[in-house]
Chain A
Amino acid sequence: MLSMQNVAKIYRTDTVETHALRAFSMEVAEGEFVAVTGPSGSGKTTFLNIAGLLETFESGVYKLDGSDVSSLSDAKRSNVRNEKIGFIFQSFNLIPDLNVFDNVDVPLRYRGFKSAERKRRIESVLETVGLASRTKHLPSQLSGGQQQRVAIARALAGEPRFLLADEPTGNLDTQMAASVMALLTEINQRGTTIIMVTHDPSLAEQATRNIYIRDGQVSEDSSAETLSAPEAAA
């Protein structure tokens, strides 16, 4: 489903070159729940950005769903993001001036769905995340956990092939974090591939596969049972 071969990403300033990813290779199969861990600055977010077509890269090959997406135009990358990828952000990234319904509606409008179809999907995903009764609420009127659920609903509304989650529980307390993780697990069990970047080893343990990134490369690629605690905590 997702295949990266020797992907390299360099951030350049006038004086410094930072190699965020070096010959980065990785394969993710359909239906997997992959947790990506690693120390700060290891390249986790860069990997997530490239996987989500949020950033371009210098070299290597990236295939998504069997198609090479390395050199797509900006507009095509937008379309791929909209149709195939769902994003869940650490800070939820809800639009504060839009209510729950309109927030979930954002990617669907870019997809060009008719109003009735959008409404059906929005109601369905809000039901899934348990917020069907909060459609008129503004983000500021919801708890952190509820806001992240709205963000998950927004990510799911377009029925993407896979979800990219960037520290999805980073801004939540333990109870809410557990609830969001349970929801992600449930979504994965329904067949959606999930790649989740996290610092939390206990969350990583709930994934079906763990990848540890260090210095812009995959340092370890193992199941949750075999990931060593010190590395995950680092």
Chain B
Amino acid sequence: MEIGPIWRALTRNKTGAILIALQIAVTLAIIVNAVAIIQERSRLMARPSGVDEPNIFYLSSIGFGDDFNERVTIQEDLDAIRNTPGVVNAIQSNSVPLRGGGWSMGLQTEPGSESESSGVAVYFIDEHGLDTYGLELVAGENFTAADVNWREPQAVEWPDKVLLTQAMAETLYPDGFMEALGNTVYINGNEPMTVTGIIKQMQAPWNGWNGVERVMLVPQHTLFGSTRYIVRTEPGQRDRLMPEIEDMLAERSRDRIIRGMTTMEETRERSYQGDSGMVGILIFVVSLLTAITALGIVGLASFSVSRRTRQIGTRRALGATKPAILRYFMTENFLISIIGVLVGAALAIGLNMWMVQAFSLTPLGWYLVPVAMVLLLIVGQIAVLGPARRAASVPPAVATRTV
């Protein structure tokens, strides 16, 4: 290999090489951190909500007539929906995971305003709630119909039973979530609730909340004028049932408006719209930067080949084979790229350390920098292949040309 002479020649003619190495370094630093952000956003977006997303949709019913009896309407609506063929189950609830709007309260293990409480998202459900959302009960028992009561808009009292997610139970009982089962927790400071069951997982309506897995389910129907029905269908029946149930509810009472028909999948998409937009932009930036760097390498190598045509011919005349010329330019590019990726690695780590401090980003995965280094080296070698092949095709007779 001609590494020594190539390196020495580079050090004597270094402006172009330094510029390309810098370009590679900056590209690597940006790519690595962009990929880290993409990974973090993708990881957030990939978190399960805990509910049977593909088969759930929801809609709102808003009563307005003087004769509108909300309590009766809710009972009759739910009976009608549950009896519709293709429907697995249905409930009235205040919200769904990832919707962006919902209730939150504080729970504590000791009564009194001095005790520290932990924030928790609240879903009102009845005994059909677990089945409707598709939740897994890991300990304790579901609510019964007898547990469920009606909540007026100004009500401040809470039911005496509550189901918690495992994450919420662990927050309240760090020694183990099972300790929560059967224990009393306090809402509004002093109001006791007995934890009668623990569900494996369910997300709050707010995906950006750091306690997104902390959820409590309470056995209540709400009488707030506007109600939300959550419907779970058999697989493949959702899209057929959505208009059917909307029409059926509209037919059942003229004193209300049916609106806000939305699937859980749409809710997820909307919830992470900003994140997926960011991922899309970053992927574009990464691709663009990589392409610009590759083009830079092509440009420098092409210029280098044109400038050294006579020199290449001389090397050929002195015995260099075509592969030897090809190897020369590949090696030269490899050396430039190695400098670029080494500087880039340091830049990437430095930039990440700053971003971790400034924006609370997750530190880089250990593999990101080496993988990016290898990938950029490969991109560099692919980029230089064309100019190197052109160099290898320079005929040796060029050496004797006088121009």
Contacts and interface: CB of A to CB of B under 8 A. Distances in A.
Interface in B298-341: 310-311, 314-324
B8 interface: yes
A75 B396 CA distance: 12
A75 B311 contact: no
Given A81-B396, A93-B310, A102 B318 contact: no
Interface centre among B2, B9, B314, B400 (most CB of A within 10 A): B400
Which of under 10, 10 to 19, 20 to 34, or 35 or more describes the interface residues of B?
20 to 34
B82 to A, nearest CB: 81
A95 B396 CA distance: 15
Nearest to A45: B400
Contact of B315 (A106, A138, A158): A106
Contact of B318 (A55, A97, A110, A166): A110
Given A48-B400, A89-B400, A102-B8, A82 B319 contact: yes
B395 A54 contact: yes
B314 A95 contact: yes
Contacts of A91: 402
Interface in A88-115: 89-91, 93, 95-99, 102, 105-107, 109-111
A78 interface: yes
B357 interface: no
B5 A111 contact: no
B113 interface: no
Nearest to A94: B314
Nearest to A75: B321
B399 interface: yes
A91 to B, nearest CB: 7
Interface in A133-192: 138, 154, 158, 166
Interface string B1-41: 01011001110110000000000000000000000000000
A93 B322 contact: no
A43 interface: no
Interface in A107-138: 107, 109-111, 138
A83 interface: yes
Contact of A78 (B5, B9, B320): B320
B2 A109 contact: yes
Contacts of B316: 54, 78
Contact of A83 (B5, B319, B323): B319
Contacts of B2: 109
A118 B310 CA distance: 24
The B interface is mostly helix, strand or loop, or mixed, namely helix
B397 interface: yes
Nearest to B13: A97
A79 interface: yes
Contacts of B322: 74-75, 78
A95 B9 contact: yes
A102 B396 contact: no
A3 interface: no
B9 A81 contact: no
Contacts of B399: 54, 87, 89, 93
A95 B319 CA distance: 15
A52 interface: yes
A90 B321 contact: no
Contacts of A53: 396
B8 A81 contact: no
Contacts of B324: 78, 110
Contacts of A223: none
B395 A55 contact: yes
Contact of B317 (A52, A74, A75, A105): A52
A91 B399 CA distance: 9
Contacts of A6: none
A89 B395 CA distance: 16
A95 B395 CA distance: 17
Nearest to B4: A102
A81 B319 contact: yes
A59 interface: no
A96 B323 CA distance: 22
B8 A99 contact: yes
Nearest to B9: A97
A105 B324 CA distance: 15
Given A98-B5, A110-B324, A49 B397 contact: yes
- 9 smallest CB-CB distances across A and B, nearest first, come from A82-B319, A97-B9, A110-B319, A107-B318, A93-B314, A54-B397, A78-B321, A54-B396, A97-B12
Given A55-B396, A109-B2, A138-B12, 4 more contacts: A49-B397, A54-B395, A81-B319, A111-B319
21 contacts: A52-B317, A54-B395, A55-B395, A55-B396, A55-B397, A75-B323, A78-B322, A78-B396, A79-B321, A81-B319, A89-B314, A91-B402, A95-B315, A97-B12, A97-B13, A98-B9, A110-B318, A110-B321, A138-B12, A158-B319, A166-B400
